[in-house]
Chain A
């Protein structure tokens, strides 16, 4: 799954190079057309567009921990991502969902940065954060976005303690050996887009770290050389509280963590992806991703899948043996028609799942528009999860 991060790369680079207009403004005061836009900001020859200048994911690399938890500035893009289905600690009927992503984008390779630059503000690393909170009893989807340069410690990662932060949004481990258990603190105030909400959650691993693709080397196209490094924690127990509308609600639940980094972008024939992270009640988890090819390209979609057993073993499964059908579509206020509900069949493992959004309105209408929402799983097996959809118009 190149999700989350790729929309940024795609949008930024495509807009930058081609100069396509009609994007969202960086600042949430769109009444002034003269304001800086994200593309204005990241634009110009001052960005290294050539993939070749950055390091690339190669097969055979063995991921090392804890150091691979933190940022890899020699790669162009990177993100740390968490989603989770939550419920009121004392009332399982009250359901919530959360998403937290920190994106890192290198504007230039470290080498090409001004030689005598001694100011921390000049580090060529740009960070973007997205935070979402779904309140399903009220059919509400709260979402916020913020940007910062790395600067002298405004955003970034550290190894002691292991942490990822964007100003006061922070994921911080409780010990230096492993990322989890960790604390996730997100506060959205008036200075962010969207409403004001926050969550303070403790994330405790219930299963070991797992590697996507081939030992963490995760191809993104059929052609060789286009891949990322990608690993996950597929089941984290969540305890903590969420806050919105001045009410604090104690919650429990289960979360999913991804960390991925790469230097290349989508192929010109690829339009976006559908990504699923499902946690079945029987203790198994499934990651399934379809990188959609544009109809006119004549190329086949590119698929990735991984199924993990109760103990965290990777179970053999060919992505070609999965049947996915869209059950329904939903048009958001922004006019985009999103798939909304799927039927997923994996005969090898007798899985026949109906994947339904907890609510349809889970569109993240930010500088990049995508759908990121909690789903319930019914059918042959019960469960829950998150789905991410990009590249729909």
Chain B
């Protein structure tokens, strides 16, 4: 009987069911999309790593490629450790697909137990002798298809050693196994040959027990080191952790908004059905029965909503994943595999989240409804007085508690989670303030109307304001949701804006030379050295005041990969660096001493190092201590960067300059000098000569691309909030039929009626917008000043943007206004006077 009653109810009010479902679906969809995307991205990166490592437990690496004689010595060692030599290099296919591939040169005789890809080799006629004799490659069927490559056909690759031609001689039957994709396997000798790495190998893979690892580490010469695969893998995994974390926080925010919608929809649909429930209770239905029934009904609705949410989420994730992987590839110069992953664990997590969230949101209204006596159920005023009382209670107790919690979390060194909890607490206390704020607003307006005397001339205005207060029990929660969505938008918008400003300012400062010259880069992460002679000749060029070369090497510091850069750092270049603390002149003077370095702010924050501290770096000759001369602002890498002088660098590392910055005298234009350089050397080398302005624009573009995903998600959260709020307001308005009938009976005309309905909505929107602005600004400040610092290690000066305020007000009022347009139009059209139900 209960079910039948519900069915009839929903048949008469289909939009209520629809809107309830919409709230759940959208909330779950955003969370699912983000969850699946981050999961997939993480998985893609891990798989990309695993395919290179195989069952390797340890790896011998050096600051430079290893000499192959080290491998020979290792193989000739009596202990007979399990080892395999590897040459690894990024190459790009030139067929126009521009796919980045990982070229792996191995000794097929040593691969067993390491990487078993070769086992899947299909097609006969390529044995060891064939692989060894010719520049033949083997790749996964899927990859070959992607490239449009066919067997026995040449394949042209861009390599660090120029353009090389290889032949595709075999495909690996990958059966969709992503671990084999984007790999190009070839014999190590052939790889040496085409990459111009005679006598060198990239690293040595080993399978060792702990005891053996110790023995190997002892046996190794000083300039190379033994790394455990697990450490390297977790290092790589950490790379993008901060990014995933931020996205997940965004996802949870969307879920909170979604659950608010569910809460408001459920509350509303229940309050609608109060008369029916009252009758049922009156004829003997027990509290328990009603309660149980409501839960079952809710679970069914939640399930439907959640499942459709997940489906929608998967579709969204497809789009997001591509964006995300692009972002990651831009940031970290790796080529992950694109692989959408929906694991049973994720799926059940999402289902649990959707259904559980709904139950949590609806639990309270259901319980209250079931508890109230049949008589009071029928009386509306009970609800109103209750709601107002409740909201006062809630505000009085919870707002100070939550705000206090937020403050404590921000004050303490509570890490990233602490910061996010503070953000959540902030939002919650803001939301709890909403009903009180709306009451306050109404009261202030009421007083204004009365004092100004408008209320006498326009009684409708007063009615509008007072009616708004009276309806709070129904509209309060929608207003809270609206406020949360809007303030989240303001907050994230503020953070992204501040970050953009900071990065642009930083880039503008950093790129202070007139011209930047390097060899044209074909492969990400691969930088060709510039010939020494060329650099020497540049110095003698007329109009060139100073030349600064740039070298870099990759190091592992505190468990993460960082780049060490080196330059002559001529005086003109120094203005490019701003320091977190200390006197600039002293810092530059300190850096003149041997073995002094500058470290970037994220590195300083991550390691706790400051001026005068010692930092151990692995040089070509083994580990060496360096002294920190200063900490500079840098947004280039959240792992951190190190900067030192060119002569210090050449004492410890071997990399040659890959770039040159030219500082010109005022009498020469960069265009003119660039022309001269291109004329004189352009024929010899494929030079890329960039004006600072062009480079700046390009760098900003790369940075902007990394924000695409944040922007998309923000938009998504906003859409969810917008649709949700729209729908719940719409539902509330549509249910005011009886009230409208009464008003009509009292003689209100169409225009007056429209004014009343629209005005009330706009007032609600205004209230939400007004509260959202301070809450959003607080949020933005927290995200910028605390979350960014804790997640990435860089500090960003927060800059409030008035534009965001305007957007907030417009958005909230637009949402509220739109929601009442249709009901207003509909009610105004109806002429019939309905009976008070």
In the bound complex, how far is the Cα of B246 from the Cα of A252, in angstroms? 72
Q: Is the CB of B124 within 8 A of A27?
A: no
Q: Is the CB of B82 within 8 A of A41?
A: no
In the bound complex, how far is the Cα of B198 from the Cα of A187, in angstroms? 30
The answer to whether the Cβ of A114 comes within 8 Å of any Cβ in the partner chain is yes
Q: Is the CB of A122 within 8 A of B127?
A: no
Report the nearest B residue to A36, measured CB to CB.
B118
Within B106-148, which residues are at the interface with A (CB < 8 Å)? 107-109, 112-113, 118-121, 124-130, 132-134
The answer to whether the Cβ of B832 comes within 8 Å of any Cβ in the partner chain is no
Within A10-68, which residues are at the interface with B (CB < 8 Å)? 27, 29, 32, 34-36, 39-47
Q: A44-B125, A187-B78 are in contact. Are A149 and B107 (CB under 8 A)?
A: yes
Q: Is the CB of A149 within 8 A of B109?
A: yes
Q: Is the CB of A46 within 8 A of B133?
A: yes
User: Nearest 3 CB-CB pairs, A to B?
Assistant: A121-B189, A41-B128, A189-B80
In the bound complex, how far is the Cα of B130 from the Cα of A45, in angstroms? 8
Q: Kindly list 10 other residue pairs between chains A and B, CB separation below 8 angstroms, not including A43-B129, A120-B68, A126-B128.
A: A36-B119, A39-B127, A107-B132, A113-B133, A122-B190, A124-B133, A148-B75, A151-B107, A167-B76, A168-B80
The answer to whether the Cβ of A249 comes within 8 Å of any Cβ in the partner chain is no
Report the nearest B residue to A167, measured CB to CB.
B75
Which one of A121, A168, A187 lies within 8 Å of B188 (CB-CB)? A121
**CB-defined contacts of B107 to chain A, threshold 8 Å:** 121, 149, 151
Distance in Å: Cβ of A131 to nearest Cβ of chain B: 12
In the bound complex, how far is the Cα of B128 from the Cα of A108, in angstroms? 12
Q: Is the CB of B129 within 8 A of A124?
A: yes
Residues of B within 8 A of A (CB): 68-69, 71-72, 75-80, 82, 107-109, 112-113, 118-121, 124-130, 132-134, 187-190, 192-193, 198-199
Distance in Å: Cβ of B214 to nearest Cβ of chain A: 17
In the bound complex, how far is the Cα of B128 from the Cα of A29, in angstroms? 18
Report the nearest B residue to A48, measured CB to CB.
B129
Distance in Å: Cβ of B123 to nearest Cβ of chain A: 11
Which one of B71, B76, B121, B124 lies within 8 Å of A170 (CB-CB)? B76
Most buried by A among B71, B76, B107: B76
Q: Is the CB of B112 within 8 A of A29?
A: yes
In the bound complex, how far is the Cα of B118 from the Cα of A113, in angstroms? 24
Report the nearest A residue to B80, measured CB to CB.
A189
Which one of A118, A151, A189 lies within 8 Å of B193 (CB-CB)? A118
**CB-defined contacts of A191 to chain B, threshold 8 Å:** 80, 82, 113
The answer to whether the Cβ of A386 comes within 8 Å of any Cβ in the partner chain is no
Distance in Å: Cβ of B138 to nearest Cβ of chain A: 12
The answer to whether the Cβ of A185 comes within 8 Å of any Cβ in the partner chain is yes
Distance in Å: Cβ of A116 to nearest Cβ of chain B: 8
Q: Is the CB of B108 within 8 A of A165?
A: no
Which one of A27, A40, A119, A148 lies within 8 Å of B127 (CB-CB)? A40
For the complex, would chain A's binding face be called helix, strand, loop or mixed by DSSP majority? loop
Distance in Å: Cβ of A165 to nearest Cβ of chain B: 7
Which one of B75, B130, B199 lies within 8 Å of A44 (CB-CB)? B130
Q: A119-B193, A124-B132, A168-B80 are in contact. Are A151 and B187 (CB under 8 A)?
A: no
**CB-defined contacts of B76 to chain A, threshold 8 Å:** 165, 167-168, 170
In the bound complex, how far is the Cα of B80 from the Cα of A185, in angstroms? 12
Most buried by B among A35, A154, A187: A154
Q: Is the CB of B193 within 8 A of A40?
A: no
Q: A41-B127, A122-B190 are in contact. Are A27 and B112 (CB under 8 A)?
A: yes
**CB-defined contacts of A121 to chain B, threshold 8 Å:** 68, 107, 132, 187-189, 192
Q: Is the CB of A44 within 8 A of B79?
A: no
Report the nearest A residue to B192, measured CB to CB.
A119
Q: Is the CB of A190 within 8 A of B82?
A: yes
The answer to whether the Cβ of A152 comes within 8 Å of any Cβ in the partner chain is yes
**CB-defined contacts of A379 to chain B, threshold 8 Å:** none
Q: Is the CB of B130 within 8 A of A46?
A: yes
**CB-defined contacts of A107 to chain B, threshold 8 Å:** 129, 132-133
**CB-defined contacts of B119 to chain A, threshold 8 Å:** 32, 34-36
For the complex, would chain B's binding face be called helix, strand, loop or mixed by DSSP majority? helix
Q: Is the CB of A42 within 8 A of B128?
A: yes
Within A98-119, which residues are at the interface with B (CB < 8 Å)? 107-108, 113-114, 116-119
Q: A107-B132, A152-B72, A168-B75 are in contact. Are A36 and B80 (CB under 8 A)?
A: no
Q: Is the CB of B80 within 8 A of A187?
A: yes
Which one of A29, A42, A167 lies within 8 Å of B129 (CB-CB)? A42
The answer to whether the Cβ of A302 comes within 8 Å of any Cβ in the partner chain is no
Residues of A within 8 A of B (CB): 27, 29, 32, 34-36, 39-47, 107-108, 113-114, 116-122, 124, 126, 147-149, 151-154, 165, 167-168, 170, 185, 187-192
Q: Is the CB of B198 within 8 A of A119?
A: yes
Q: Is the CB of B193 within 8 A of A36?
A: no
Distance in Å: Cβ of B721 to nearest Cβ of chain A: 54
In the bound complex, how far is the Cα of B77 from the Cα of A170, in angstroms? 11
Q: Is the CB of A122 within 8 A of B132?
A: yes
Distance in Å: Cβ of A186 to nearest Cβ of chain B: 10
**CB-defined contacts of A32 to chain B, threshold 8 Å:** 119
**CB-defined contacts of A154 to chain B, threshold 8 Å:** 72, 75
Which one of A36, A39, A118, A190 lies within 8 Å of B198 (CB-CB)? A118
Distance in Å: Cβ of B347 to nearest Cβ of chain A: 33
Distance in Å: Cβ of B108 to nearest Cβ of chain A: 7
Which one of B77, B108, B125 lies within 8 Å of A43 (CB-CB)? B125
Distance in Å: Cβ of B216 to nearest Cβ of chain A: 14
In the bound complex, how far is the Cα of B193 from the Cα of A153, in angstroms? 17
**CB-defined contacts of B188 to chain A, threshold 8 Å:** 121
In the bound complex, how far is the Cα of B132 from the Cα of A117, in angstroms? 11
Report the nearest A residue to B136, measured CB to CB.
A46
In the bound complex, how far is the Cα of B631 from the Cα of A34, in angstroms? 56
Most buried by A among B126, B133, B198: B133
Report the nearest A residue to B197, measured CB to CB.
A119
Q: Is the CB of A114 within 8 A of B133?
A: yes
Q: Is the CB of B79 within 8 A of A189?
A: yes
Q: Is the CB of B129 within 8 A of A44?
A: yes
Distance in Å: Cβ of B449 to nearest Cβ of chain A: 85
Can you list 26 A-B contacts with CB-CB less than 8 angstroms, sorted by A residue number? A32-B119, A35-B112, A35-B119, A36-B108, A36-B127, A40-B124, A42-B127, A42-B129, A43-B125, A44-B130, A45-B130, A46-B127, A108-B129, A117-B189, A121-B132, A124-B129, A148-B109, A151-B107, A154-B72, A167-B76, A168-B75, A168-B76, A168-B80, A185-B78, A190-B82, A192-B80
Q: Is the CB of A153 within 8 A of B72?
A: yes
Q: Is the CB of B78 within 8 A of A168?
A: yes
Report the nearest B residue to A108, measured CB to CB.
B133
Q: Is the CB of B192 within 8 A of A147?
A: no
Q: Is the CB of B193 within 8 A of A41?
A: no
Q: Is the CB of B68 within 8 A of A43?
A: no
Q: A34-B119, A40-B124, A43-B125 are in contact. Are A168 and B77 (CB under 8 A)?
A: yes
Report the nearest B residue to A32, measured CB to CB.
B119
Report the nearest A residue to B209, measured CB to CB.
A190
In the bound complex, how far is the Cα of B112 from the Cα of A35, in angstroms? 9
**CB-defined contacts of B132 to chain A, threshold 8 Å:** 46, 107, 121-122, 124, 149
**CB-defined contacts of B77 to chain A, threshold 8 Å:** 168
Q: Is the CB of A152 within 8 A of B199?
A: yes
Q: Is the CB of A41 within 8 A of B108?
A: yes
Q: A122-B193, A124-B133 are in contact. Are A44 and B127 (CB under 8 A)?
A: yes
Q: A41-B127, A119-B198, A168-B76 are in contact. Are A147 and B109 (CB under 8 A)?
A: yes
In the bound complex, how far is the Cα of B187 from the Cα of A120, in angstroms? 12
Distance in Å: Cβ of A183 to nearest Cβ of chain B: 12
**CB-defined contacts of B72 to chain A, threshold 8 Å:** 151-154
**CB-defined contacts of B192 to chain A, threshold 8 Å:** 119, 121
In the bound complex, how far is the Cα of B207 from the Cα of A189, in angstroms? 13
Distance in Å: Cβ of A122 to nearest Cβ of chain B: 4
Report the nearest A residue to B173, measured CB to CB.
A34
Most buried by A among B82, B129, B187, B188: B129
In the bound complex, how far is the Cα of B190 from the Cα of A151, in angstroms? 12
**CB-defined contacts of A149 to chain B, threshold 8 Å:** 107, 109, 128, 132
**CB-defined contacts of A124 to chain B, threshold 8 Å:** 129, 132-133
Distance in Å: Cβ of A26 to nearest Cβ of chain B: 8
